[in-house]
Structure 1
C-alpha cells in the first residue's frame, strides 16, 4: 500500500573530499551541525557510510546556508536534494527514504565531478536545474572573495553594522564600504534571498513511492 510523503523537504548528502589522504572530519562536522541547528532539522545530521553524512530540513534558508558553508570550507562535495520523504520519519536519518533522498544522492554524485563541488536535484527537474545554475554563479562570486572581504562579510552576517565592522577591524568606514563592494556582499545577500524564495516555491508534490518502486532504486 502506498505510504504518505511529506513534500518540500531538503536533504543534504555530503561526502568528504580526498578522505583517504586526509583525517576523517565527518564525525566532528556532524556534531557541530547538530549542535548549531538541531531545532531546525527534521532529521539530524547522521553519518551514513564512511566519510559521508546526511541531514534533512523543511527550511530552505537553512538548507542553502549549510550547503554554502560546507562548500566554503573546501573539504566537501555537497549534494542538495528536494522532494518528498516517506512518512513517518524514522529516528535516524540513515533509515529515511523518499524522493528528496534519491535527489540528494544523485546530486552529490554529480557534485564530486563539478569544479565547485556542489549540485542540486529536485523532483521539479527544470526549476531545480535553473536553481543550480544560480547557486553556482553565487559560488563563483564567493570563491573570488579575499580574506579581507570574508572578514567583513562574516561580521555583517553576524549582525554587525558597517560602522561596527570598521571599529572591530580598525578600519575607516570608507575602507569597509570598498571591501563590501569588492566582495560583492550586497549582491550575495540579494541573490541568497532570491534563491531561498525559489527553493521554497519548488513543487514538492511527487508521486508517492510504493515499496516496489523503492526496491527498483
Structure 2
C-alpha cells in the first residue's frame, strides 16, 4: 500500500491550511481516509498507484506542501484512522516527507520504499516541475481540456473566447500532452515498487 504524509510549508508563519488540503484531496480514493495526523500534517492510506499520482499533483498545484510517499506494508487489521496505522509504509512515508523538505529547487516530494522508489520519485519530480511552472492563465485552459477527446481544443477555445492556436500553444508550453502520457508511467513505477514491497 501507499501512505502519503503531507506537511505544510512554512506553517509557523502562515495560517493553518490542513482543512483546505483535506477538501482538496477528498475526491482521491483511499483505504484509510485523509485526516490531520499531527499539527500541520495530514496523512492518508491509498491502494491505487494512479490515485497516488493524482494526490501528489494536486498538492503540487496547490503549492505550499511537502509530500512524502511511503511504499510498503500496512499492518492488518486496518485501524479506523491513519494515526493508528503501523507498518513499513508509514515508516517510509515519515522518512520521505523529511527528505522532501531538503529537495531545494526541485518539486518538494520524495518516495521511499523497496527498489524502484528512486525511479518513481524521479518521474514524479519531472511531472512536478511542469505543474509548478504553470500560470493561472494556462490552468484556465488545461482544466477544460479532456485527454484523448478529438476537437476538445476547439471547444475550449470557443468556451474561453480565444483561438484554437492559443489553446494549442498553451498546452504545448505547459507540457500537458506529455503529462497525460507520463502519468500512467509514474503510476506503473509506483505499482512495481508496491508489488516488490509484498515480496518476501
For the residues of structure 1 that align with 2:146 and 2:89, how far apart are their CA atoms? 29
> 2:22 matched to 1:30?
yes
For the residues of structure 2 that align with 1:198 and 1:192, how far apart are their CA atoms? 10
User: Do 1:84 and 1:206's aligned partners in 2 also have CA atoms closer than 8 Å?
Assistant: no
> 2:118 matched to 1:129?
yes
Matched residue pairs, number?
Answer: 194
Contiguous gaps of at least 5 residues in structure 1: 1-8, 208-217
Which of these residues, 153, 163, 188, is aligned with residue 197 of structure 1? 188
* Equivalent residue, structure 1, for 2:57: 68
TM-score by length of 1: 0.83
For the residues of structure 2 that align with 1:195 and 1:189, how far apart are their CA atoms? 11
For the residues of structure 1 that align with 2:48 and 2:3, how far apart are their CA atoms? 10
User: What's the offset of the Cα at 1:12?
Assistant: 0.6
For the residues of structure 1 that align with 2:126 and 2:191, how far apart are their CA atoms? 19
Contiguous gaps of at least 5 residues in structure 2: none
* Equivalent residue, structure 1, for 2:80: 91
Larger Rg: 1
User: What's the offset of the Cα at 1:29?
Assistant: 2.1
Write the mapping of 1:54-65 to structure 2, written as runs, cut at 5 A.
54-65=43-54
- Of 196-205 and 157-166, deviating more is 157-166
Write the mapping of 1:1-217 to structure 2, written as runs, cut at 5 A.
9-34=1-26, 36-37=27-28, 40-115=29-104, 116-122=107-113, 124-125=114-115, 127-156=116-145, 161-202=152-193, 203-205=196-198
User: Do 1:162 and 1:173's aligned partners in 2 also have CA atoms closer than 8 Å?
Assistant: yes
For the residues of structure 2 that align with 1:133 and 1:175, how far apart are their CA atoms? 31
For the residues of structure 2 that align with 1:28 and 1:185, how far apart are their CA atoms? 25
- Of 143-152 and 86-95, deviating more is 143-152
TM-score by length of 2: 0.90
Distance 1:157 1:108, change over 3 A: farther
Q: Which has the higher strand share?
A: 1
Cα deviation digits, residues 33-80 of structure 1 (max 9, x gap): 33x23xx21000121111111001101111111111112211111101
* Equivalent residue, structure 2, for 1:214: none
Q: Aligned-residue CA RMSD in angstroms?
A: 1.8
